[in-house]
Amino acid sequence: MTKLLRKGILRSIEILVFRGRSGIDNADEALRYLPISDFILRGEIDNPKVLEVGSGVKGITPYIPFQITGVDVSFSGEIAKTLTPVCLSGAMLPFPDKSYDYVISVDMLEHVPESERAKIIMELLRVANKWVILAVPCGKLSEAHDKGLDELYQQVKGERYHFFRDHIENGLPAKEELVACIRACAEKLGLSADIQVIGNVSLKARTFFMRLWITAKTPKVYNWISPFLCIFRRFLNYGDCYRQIFVVDISRGERG
């Protein structure tokens, strides 16, 4: 009965508040994707071509009603019906210039070595026709946050979580460093890039729900609270934020 009640409440919230979008029972994932899906859904393109680099088996698909192309090194698990998977090793994308209206990458860049990041950004810009949207954990405070969660996870679970390990081993870029890298890559491609940077998820808020996710004896508590965090998500982007979202407008740029 409790399971059916929770499912009914969740579906009601999805329909009434999020226009049918799902995935809101996982706050850590939803809070990074919802601002990007909001941006795409507000756009003037009725059926945009969307590419997500580092998508995994579903990526942004729970949050937008469009077919997307997803690129990743491998796909483990059931692939979302609205995602067309493309396996890739290396930084070069197998698509022509200006192939996609929106090219997005969400919490992927920190999983690759620092020396490879500029190559990836260059490729994202190359295949984009209008917008590139990068969501990336940034800065020393976010590094310290991840180290604390890594230690807690080891204490509670007796092992390391691979996402935390990758963040720590590769290091998180500074916001200013990424802005400079995006501008330099755009210049090499003959593009003029307007960049807007938006803070995403307060470190204080993320500490709360990530510690809950790690320490709760059952995922039900985390899954129950996640939709309400999503409802009030705009109030969670205060102070020092864990993640920065880089919205890069290249629609007015011209290639040399």
pLDDT for res 251:
66
Q: State pLDDT tens for residues 155-172.
A: 999 999 999 999 999 999
Domain ranges of the chain: 25-249
3-state SS, residue 192: coil
| 25-249: CATH topology | Rossmann fold (3.40.50)
Q: Is the pLDDT of residue 253 over 60?
A: no
| CA 169 to chain centroid | 19
pLDDT for res 109:
94
| pTM of the full structure | 0.94
Q: What is the mean pLDDT of the chain?
A: 93
Which residues are within 8 A (CB) of 14 and not within 5 positions of it... i.e. 6 or more apart?
A: 20, 21, 22, 24
Contact 29, 228 (CB under 8 A): no
pLDDT for res 244:
98
Q: How far apart are CA 235 and CA 21, in angstroms?
A: 20
Residues in a beta bridge with 94: none
Q: Is the pLDDT of residue 29 over 60?
A: yes
Q: How far apart are CA 23 and CA 212, in angstroms?
A: 18
Task: Give me the DSSP letters along 201-220.
Answer: EEHHHHHHHHHHHHH-SSHH
pLDDT for res 133:
98
Q: Is the pLDDT of residue 6 over 90?
A: no
In whole angstroms, how far apart are CA 34 and each of 26, 29, 60, 164?
Answer: 12, 9, 9, 22
Q: Within 13 A of 62's CA, how many CA atoms are on the CB side?
A: 20
Mean pLDDT score, 149-157: 97
**Lowest-confidence segment of 3-7, 106-110, 176-180, 206-210 by average pLDDT:** 3-7
